[in-house]
Amino acid sequence: AEGCGGSLTRVCAVGETRVEQGRSAGTLENRPKILLSSPGDSDVRAMAERETPIGEASRSPVPQENGLSAPPRFSFSAQPTLEDIRRLQAQFTDERDWNQYHQPRNLLLAMVGEVGEVAELFQWKGEVAEGLPDWPEHERKQLAQELSDVLIYLVELAEKCHVDLPRAVLEKMDINRQKYPASKVHGSAKKYTEYQD
């Protein structure tokens, strides 16, 4: 997708981006660094410089199961935060006078379209392993871009609906803990209504 209703990466992305390639192969320098080129965003530009390639953020230890070490869990970079993303996207749309188009219904439909583009990448592949080890690098990068489009639209939709997304997530996770107590649901995929006493 190319236009404002399509891929955010090209037209509606969080700030304009350019990719710099380093010189030496096999080192961190040859990995793409995404630099935000919006004026006045030097703080965000600095945090957006990536030393970790897409899909290789830090790993967190996982509790051991049956005495065996579980593989480390993937974890996101600490920055940018959702608020950073919201602010950058707001600046991006303000600079282009696109708020007239970025209303809740339009943002929702655009986000659904981007989810469709994510689904298209998985279509006909069958089940895939965590970390997508069999995917070629260009497909992994495309997935990262499409998931970014979904997140950007989601954050902007939450902004336009005045939903404080980080707080809403914490509240929802608390509700889920109550609906799905670990003592009752451990290892089961049943719906919470099937666990009522």
Model confidence pLDDT, tens digit, residues 181-193 = 998 888 888 887 7
What six digits make up the tokens of 33? 């660094």
User: Stretch 166-182: mean pLDDT, rounded?
Assistant: 95
- The lowest-confidence range among 65-69, 79-83, 124-128, 129-133 is 65-69
- pLDDT of residue 38 exceeding 60, the answer is no
Most confident of 38-42, 116-120, 189-193: 116-120
pLDDT band at residue 29 using 50, 70 and 90 as cut-offs: very low
The pLDDT-based confidence of 67 (bands split at 50, 70, 90) is low
Say what the pTM is.
0.66
Pairing of strands 33-36, 73-74: unpaired
CA-wise closest residue to 82 among 174, 175, 163:
163
Sign of CA dihedral 10, 11, 13, 14: positive
pLDDT at 197: 60
Q: How far apart are CA 17 and CA 55, in angstroms?
A: 19
Q: Which SS3 state, helix, strand or coil, does residue 68 take? A: strand
